Amino acid sequence: MRTGFIGLGNQGTPMAARMLQAGYPVTVWARRPEVATDFARQGAVAAASIADLGAACDHVGICVFADQDVIDVCDQLIPAMQAGGVIAVHSTIHPDVCEELARRCTEQGILFVDAPVSGGALVAEQGALTVMCGGAADAFARARPVFETFGKLIVHLGEVGAGQRAKIINNALMSANMGAARAAMAAGRTLGLDKAALAEVINNSSGRSLGFQIYAGMSTYLDFAVGTPPMVKDVALLHNMLGDENSETLRRTADFFLKPAAEALKG
């Protein structure tokens, strides 16, 4: 299978590298040509355009930032790919966008899977990401061998959009955990507890979570500079999708961390 990858950022780079290391022929495209050139030195092919990449590949992974970024890529990619090819969207975007892209793919005879991932760059390097998939059973089956190059837990959650819904809920919960962590540490400070000692206790007790571990290990909000923008985006996505008490509770708790973190990024 000839594979391609678009979006060689913090998350996409190790995913594409794992595909290459697994022996797949990989063609890449990036907004910054020097990034694609670096991959070419590792054995990949650097495409001159998204259309050229699409024409050369049977399976294309996309890992760009936002809804419109994915749409812009697919506007060029879908017409260029052959029937029977697979497009896998690893970006975290609105499920409705995935459903519309899947409809367009079906018209061209292309299979579509939304497959956002969780774990981060280091976990991707280890080939141990969680991959949350939505799409038809045949599309998932075709894409799974590629996902196995960078994923450890690969779950088919249902039709197109199901992977996105699971990822957005996960990210909102992670954000809320970090907001709750900030509140807990602030409570400890008010009660006169040593910060390091309290963090050690919680990290070894029933209150522990990944969000708490990350928050307690931060010296400034800038330590989470890479993670803040996508978490802000995904919390807003869930609230826009639901607008109910559940999403509002998650957003309100998450904002206790995300608001000061986002302000810190503004300098």
Enzyme catalytic residues: 167
4 close to 62: Cβ distance less than 8 angstroms? no
139 close to 162: Cβ distance less than 8 angstroms? no
At position 37, the amino acid (one-letter code) is: T
Cα–Cα distance between 72 and 189 in angstroms, integer?
Answer: 48
- Positive or negative, the CA dihedral 134, 140, 143, 146 is positive
- Exposure of 182 in the CB half-sphere (CA atoms within 13 A): 19
Estimate to the nearest angstrom the gap between the alpha carbon of 256 and the chain centroid.
23
The single-letter DSSP state of residue 13 is H
At position 263, the amino acid (one-letter code) is: E
**CB contact set of 185 (below 8 Å; sequence gap of 6+):** 195, 198, 199, 215, 216
- Positive or negative, the CA dihedral 221, 222, 228, 229 is positive
First to last CA, the chain: 46
Cα–Cα distance between 16 and 28 in angstroms, integer?
Answer: 8
> Hey, what are 246's tokens?
């559940």
Length of the chain, in residues: 267
